[in-house]
C-alpha cells in the first residue's frame, strides 16, 4: 500500500483498539489518544496535499473515527458519572446516525459518513471530552457535545434525503440547498 494517508488511517484504527488495553488517564493513554487525534488530521491533510484522496480512503477514515469513538465509549462510560439523560441523548444520536447510514446504503448502495463541518466540529468536541474530563463538569461538557452532535446527525440525514447524489466531502446542508435552488432556477 503506497498511500501514506491510508497507512496513517490504519495506524489510527490500531491505536484506537490499543487504547482499550492501556490504563485510562495514564501518560501512555493520553499519548496514544493524542496520536489518534493528530493522525485524524494528518491523514486527510496528506491525502489532499499529495492528491491521494479516494473513496476507499474516505471510508477508511470514517471507520477509524468510529473505532476511536467506540473505544472511548467502552473506556469512559463505566468510570464517568454521567446523567441518565445524557446517556439517553447519546443513544438517540446513535440511532440518528444509524438511520443516516441506512438511508445511504438504501439510496446509494454504499457505506458513507459525510465530512460536513458539523460532523468535524462534533468529532473534535468529542475528541476533547476526555482531555477536559477532570477540569470541567462532565454533564455540562456532555450536554454541549450532544447539542452539536445532534444537530450534525440530523443535518446529515436531511442531506442524504435531499441530495440526488452522494458527495462525502459536502460542507453543510446549505450547499445542498444552494444546489437545489440553482437546479430549480435553471428549469424555468
- Confidence band for 158, pLDDT divided at 50, 70 and 90: very high
Rounded-to-integer distance, Cα 109 and Cα 5, Å: 25
Domain residues of the chain, as ranges? 1-73, 80-188
Question: Is pLDDT of 80 > 90?
Answer: no
More confident residue, 31 or 2: 31
- In the prediction, which pLDDT does 116 show? 95
Which stretch of DSSP H or E encloses residue 96?
helix 84-108
Question: Is pLDDT of 160 > 60?
Answer: yes
Question: Is pLDDT of 185 > 70?
Answer: no
- In the prediction, which pLDDT does 72 show? 92
- In the prediction, which pLDDT does 14 show? 98
Q: Give me the chain's average pLDDT, please.
A: 90
Rounded-to-integer distance, Cα 124 and Cα 130, Å: 11
- In the prediction, which pLDDT does 44 show? 87
- In the prediction, which pLDDT does 179 show? 79
- In the prediction, which pLDDT does 2 show? 67
For residues 19-45, give the mean pLDDT: 93
- In the prediction, which pLDDT does 188 show? 42
* Digit-coded pLDDT (tens) for 101-151: 999 999 999 988 998 999 999 999 999 988 888 888 889 999 999 999 999
Cell 473534535, located at residue: 124
CA distances, 57 to each of 11, 34, 38, 132, 166 (Å): 13, 21, 17, 30, 16
Output the DSSP codes for 149-168: HHHHHHHHHHHHHH-SS--T
Rounded-to-integer distance, Cα 33 and Cα 130, Å: 9
Nearest to 21, CA basis, from 10, 32, 11, 12: 32
Output the DSSP codes for 114-142: ---HHHHHHHHHHHHHHHHTTTS-HHHHH
Amino acid at each position: 500500500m503506497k498511500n501514506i494517508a491510508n497507512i496513517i488511517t490504519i495506524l489510527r484504527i490500531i491505536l484506537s483498539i490499543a487504547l482499550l488495553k492501556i490504563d485510562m488517564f495514564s501518560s501512555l493513554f493520553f499519548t496514544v489518544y493524542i496520536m489518534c487525534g493528530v493522525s485524524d488530521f494528518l491523514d486527510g491533510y496528506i491525502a489532499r496535499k499529495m492528491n491521494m484522496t479516494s473513496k476507499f480512503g474516505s471510508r477508511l477514515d470514517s471507520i477509524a473515527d468510529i473505532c476511536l469513538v467506540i473505544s472511548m465509549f467502552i473506556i469512559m462510560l463505566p468510570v464517568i458519572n454521567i446523567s441518565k439523560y445524557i446517556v439517553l441523548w447519546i443513544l438517540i444520536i446513535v440511532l440518528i446516525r444509524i438511520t443516516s447510514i441506512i438511508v445511504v446504503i438504501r439510496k446509494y448502495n454504499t457505506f458513507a459518513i459525510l465530512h460536513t463541518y458539523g460532523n468535524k466540529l462534533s468529532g473534535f468536541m468529542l475528541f476533547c471530552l476526555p482531555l477536559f474530563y477532570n477540569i470541567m463538569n462532565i454533564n455540562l461538557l456532555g450536554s454541549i457535545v450532544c447539542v452539536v452532535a445532534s444537530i450534525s446527525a440530523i443535518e446529515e440525514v436531511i442531506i442524504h434525503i435531499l441530495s440526488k447524489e452522494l458527495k462525502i466531502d459536502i460542507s453543510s446542508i446549505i450547499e445542498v440547498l444552494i444546489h437545489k435552488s440553482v437546479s430549480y432556477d435553471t428549469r424555468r
